Structure 1
Amino acid sequence: MGGRADELYDVTARRASRAVLAEYSTSFGLGTRLLGGRARRDIEAVYALVRIADEVVDTYRGPDAGALLDELEAQTSRALVSGHSTNLVVHAFARTAARTGIGHDEVDPFFASMRTDLTVRVHDRGSYERYVYGSAEVVGLMCLAVFLNADRQPGEPVRRPAPTLVTGARALGAAFQKINFLRDLGADTDDLGRSYFPGVEAGTLDQEQLDEILAEIGHDLAAARAALPGLPRRARLAVAATLGLYDRLLGVLACTPPDELLARRVRLAGPRKLAVVARSVAGELRTGGTGAARVDA
């Protein structure tokens, strides 16, 4: 076998990853539609891997969840070396990783954070920051690697980001994670028994605590937005669209009393999401940066 059969397997793996994204995230999916074909497929592969790991610790949560997570990490590690996996999602991720330079620097902290969800219920400042780094900031770094290498040709060196882009990618991932922590505050407490924000006891949140969290997220979003001009053009539009959605969510969260955040998940209706994306893209086209990717030599 080989040749056409290998290509068919790759295509099937990519379709599996696309299906995961389509089922689990409308907001993230909207942003990917602004990317070119290769970048979109690679982002789908990244999303699918982190999603199925998250499902093990958040949805399944069976007595063998730790063993399942260990096996998924082992499959991923093997595939980073061999470029192949019998797990279609892992296979698609491995192909993306080889093309974009994603490796253990990103993968290992991610799985470490996922493993934390199986044992840690309340976080202090140190464990919270480590968790956010592994669960979200490294995902931002994976996405950045995809953006910078979307048009890289075989034989060309992998493009590595400049420090300003690294800062922006980490901030973007952190902001998204913290917003989702706020949106899922009730479910994390009632269903999962977790409290992520340091100093916030499970099932409680006062206005002062909420204001501090919102300010922290606002700082992250500002740092992410400052890095936009250094991204390639289509990636810049996709990230601007996603930033617009989360800016809007942050505004809604700021107008929602703490007791309501504990009782329901804040959402944006589909038509409103489309309107926010359209405005964000239009605004970035009018005032965006040069679109020249900043990379380290």
Structure 2
Amino acid sequence: MHDGNRKAGMGLTRIRTARARTAEPAPLGCDPADLAQVESVVVASGTSFGKGMRILAPDRRYGMYAVYAFCRLVDDVADDDGTPEDKSALLRAWHERIAGLYAGRATDALDRVLSVVIARFDLRQADFDAVIDGMMMDAQGPIVAPDEATFDLYCDRVASAVGRLSVRVFGDASAEADRVAFHLGRALQITNILRDVAEDAQRGRLYLPRELLTRFDVPLDAARAVRARGLEGVGRVLAGRARDHFRAAHRAMARCDRHAMRPARLMGATYSAILTAQEKQGWRHPERRVSLSRPRKLLIAARALVG
């Protein structure tokens, strides 16, 4: 059996066992088979996201699994092989699918779970649509040296919009929680972009803002940009911008429900440490992708959750 399917089956067994022991309904009141199918998307991705969400209560944890599964599937459309026209058509179908959920239509396991999550946590259709539109930007051709406005719009759609969905599942739907999503999403996305410059260049992508590239005499071409001396200056400026967003996010977190912000604090602390490691390494050799050791991750998590 495929490893992802095997683990999903184990997840289904855990849900059924827990339900039998406690005589309580499955998380979100959903069919355990539907929950296991959603969880299988998380498991198959190979991400550590699932482990990080274990700090949440079951209803919120499976709510985040459903949001992640949606994001993963639309991201796959943008990254998989296919013409821009084919990808755009598939993403337009996702817009229709999300609209269908808000109209009460559900056709598969993810739809059924997402429908419950949307109603339970009052998720906004505009935020789902923004995520899809972010993937549409990638699907229509490699993004290369976008202007500052496009760069910020991209970060909002692919990261902050996910944050706006997430904070509501975490348990805070306030304006300050949306402010956390605005700043933390941008901080995380900029950190990812700075860490993945070389990997993105291999796909013909160059997410760094055109104005900064020009300022530091970096060619507006992915393959040449990664070898340019000025890349170091671009990296330093963007890292400073990410730091500003991290600080603004933490100020907003202080005005939010403290318990609900636990996952946001964890993500913020982890990515801040990644950014620190990237700043220490610099951008002279962007092909050396920075990472954190497991003990370091555990220490960061402990501090974030109790601090």
TM range (shorter): 0.7 to 0.9
Pairwise CA distance, 1:83 = 5.1
**1:188-243, Cα deviation, whole Å (9 max, x unpaired):** 1112x111121243242522111111011111111111122333343222222221
Residue 8 (structure 2) aligns with: none
**Secondary structure in structure 1 of the residue aligned to 2:171:** helix
- Pick one of 249, 252, 257 that aligns with 1:232: 257
CA distance in 2, matches of 1:36, 1:236: 13
The answer to whether the aligner puts 1:214 opposite 2:256 as a matched pair is no
Q: Alpha carbons of 1:34 and 1:250: their partners in 2 closer, same or farther (altered >3 Å)?
A: same
Q: Which residue of 2 aligns with 1:289?
A: none
- Structure 1 residue runs without a partner (length 5+): 150-159, 285-297
Question: Does the aligned pair in 2 maintain the 1:66–1:118 contact within 8 Å?
Answer: yes
Amino acid at match of 1:148: G
Q: How many residues align?
A: 264
Query: Could you say which residue in structure 2 is the equivalent of 1:119?
Result: 140
Alignment-derived partner of residue 292 in structure 2: 268
Deviations 1:113-155, CA, capped at 9 Å, x for gaps: 1111122422111111111111111111101111236xxxxxx
Q: Which moved more, 1:210-219 or 1:264-273?
A: 264-273
- Return the alpha-carbon distance in structure 1 between the equivalents of residues 165 and 76 of structure 2: 19
In 2 relative to 1, CA 23–252 (structure 1 residues): closer, same or farther, beyond 3 Å? farther
Distance 1:244 1:30, change over 3 A: farther
Unaligned runs of 5+ in 2: 1-24, 214-219
* Secondary structure in 1 matching 2:281: coil
In structure 2, the CA distance between the partners of 1:73 and 1:90, relative to structure 1 (3 Å rule), is farther
Question: Secondary structure of the equivalent of 1:235?
Answer: coil
1:173 aligned residue (175, 185, 196)? 185
Map 1:132-147 onto structure 2 (within 5 A): 132-147=155-170
- 2:208 counterpart residue number: 197
Structure 1 residues 27 and 184, CA gap change in structure 2 (3 angstroms): same
Give the % identical residues. 26
RMSD: 2.3
Q: Distance in 2 between matches of 1:94 and 1:270?
A: 36
Which stretch shifts more, 119-128 or 15-24? 15-24
2:97 equivalent to 1:72: no
Match of 1:61 in 2: 81
Q: For CA contacts below 8 A with separation 6 or more, give which structure has more relative contact order.
A: 1
Pick the aligned partner of 2:72 from 51, 64, 86: 51
CA distance in 2, matches of 1:232, 1:101: 17
Shift, 1:8, TM fit: 8.5
Structure 2-normalised TM-score? 0.78
- Between stretches 17-26 and 125-134, larger displacement belongs to 17-26
Structure 1 residues 90 and 271: alpha-carbon distance in aligned structure 2, compared to 1, 3 A threshold: farther
Match of 1:157 in 2: none
* Aligned residue in 1 for 2:114: 93
By how many angstroms is 1:274 displaced? 1.7
Structure-1 separation of matches of 2:46 and 2:266: 14
Taking structure 1 as reference, are residues 27 and 225 closer, same or farther at Cα in structure 2, changes over 3 Å only?
A: farther
Structure 1 residue runs of 4+, over 4 Å off?
none
